[in-house]
Amino acid sequence: MLKRQHLPVAATIALFVLMFMMGSFRYTGFFSMQVLLNLLIDNAFLLIVAIGMTFVIVSGGIDLSVGSMVALTTMMSAGLLQQGGWPAWAVIPFVLAVGSLFGAAMGALIHYFKIQPFIVTLAGMFLARGLCYVISINTITINNGFYTDMAQTKIRFGDNFVSPSVIIALVVLALAIYIAHYTRFGRTTYAIGGSEQSALLMGLPVARTKIMVYMFSGFCSALGGVVFTFYMLSGYGLHAVGLELDAIAATVIGGTLLTGGVGYVFGTFAGVMIYGVIQTLIVFQGTLSSWWTRIIIGVLLFAFIVLQRLFTMRSDRKTGSVEKMA
């Protein structure tokens, strides 16, 4: 028997299956394992960023800086590799540390100064995007051997293949599911999203957890930037413009409540796959602009937000009925 809290995730998975089957019936060659794997290849960086966003939204916050952090990661990587002469093994840990510290600093400001996450992360978005242009106003092409190897490597499964970025994304997905549901940090994140005041009264480490949530989001953004750099082989200040909105959309479509306290990392994975299958359907159609992806995602986002509101209203009514009976 499907539990009520699992309905949004189930709806997301069912929608993905329906859309994939529609594409399979309509377009020759759509129904294949490689098309399915291509969804992951093209959206591995988005999946990683959206996983970090899931933890933030579950905690009751928001992070608008993720797209700019991806761009900053590409610029720092390209600058250090091409102009600084750093080796890849030093660049990648450095940019991951910068992303984590950037997220932790925003988390500390949000908690200790009681500033709305929207304002703090909006400032972080402008700061990170501005730092990109401090490094360079032009595109910096990457010809480092390790990065080009990562871009060109294909991990084969019979007649099909994936890129190393997909393996990275799936490892992050597995670790995030474990962290969310089987660790104290994950349980505390859900508790804070449900009610921060109640979490404090229970003696949970609210301050540390909130800072770690934003640190994890910053880490995922930087890692997504590394994967995006493998994909683009360049650094540019306008990379990943609007990616924060795509990550939020994938998270919400995946069943995470914007009010916090409810959400599933696997649902976010399904939300990213829906995003990818919409892009693929438009490519197979051939006559539609890529902007239709935004339009369809917008419609789906509206629909899922309405469903979330109906879900929370029913829960509130049931809670009110129980209190009256008591």
pTM over 0.85: yes
pLDDT greater than 80 at residue 27: yes
pLDDT class of 193 with cuts at 50, 70, 90: very high
Q: What sign does the CA torsion over 202, 203, 204, 208 have?
A: positive
Contact criterion met (CB below 8 Å) for 91 and 230: no
In this prediction, what percent of the chain has a pLDDT beyond 90?
Answer: 74
pLDDT at 279: 87
- Residue 113 corresponds to which amino acid? F
pLDDT at 3: 67
Q: Give Cα 325 distance to the centre of its chain.
A: 42
pLDDT at 310: 74
CA–CA separation, 133 vs 140, rounded Å? 11
CA–CA separation, 136 vs 138, rounded Å? 5
Q: Helix, strand or coil for residue 161? A: strand
pLDDT greater than 60 at residue 87: yes
CA–CA separation, 40 vs 305, rounded Å? 25
Contact criterion met (CB below 8 Å) for 52 and 106: no
pLDDT greater than 90 at residue 303: no
pLDDT class of 7 with cuts at 50, 70, 90: confident
pLDDT mean over 151-171: 94
pLDDT greater than 50 at residue 253: yes
Q: What mean pLDDT is reported for the chain?
A: 91
pLDDT at 314: 64
C-alpha to C-alpha distances, 261 to 72, 120, 200, nearest whole angstrom: 30, 21, 15
Rg (CA), the chain: 20
Fold classified for 4-319: ABC transporter involved in vitamin B12 uptake, BtuC (1.10.3470)
Tokens of 307: 């469903």
pLDDT in tens, 274-302: 999 998 888 888 766 777 878 888 888 88
Sort 14 into a burial class: Cβ within 10 Å, 0-12 / 13-18 / 19+: exposed
pLDDT mean over 112-132: 97
Contact criterion met (CB below 8 Å) for 173 and 50: no
pLDDT mean over 110-119: 96
pLDDT at 323: 46
Helix (H) or strand (E) segment spanning residue 156: strand 155-157
Of residues 4 and 274, more confidence is placed in 274
Of residues 109 and 257, more confidence is placed in 109
pLDDT at 284: 85
pLDDT at 322: 43
Helix (H) or strand (E) segment spanning residue 59: none
Of residues 215 and 263, more confidence is placed in 215
Using the structure block, give the residue that is written with the tokens 């994890």. Answer: 216
pLDDT mean over 268-278: 93
pLDDT class of 172 with cuts at 50, 70, 90: very high
Q: Which of 53, 60, 12, 20 is nearest to 307 (CA)?
A: 12
Q: Helix, strand or coil for residue 302? A: helix
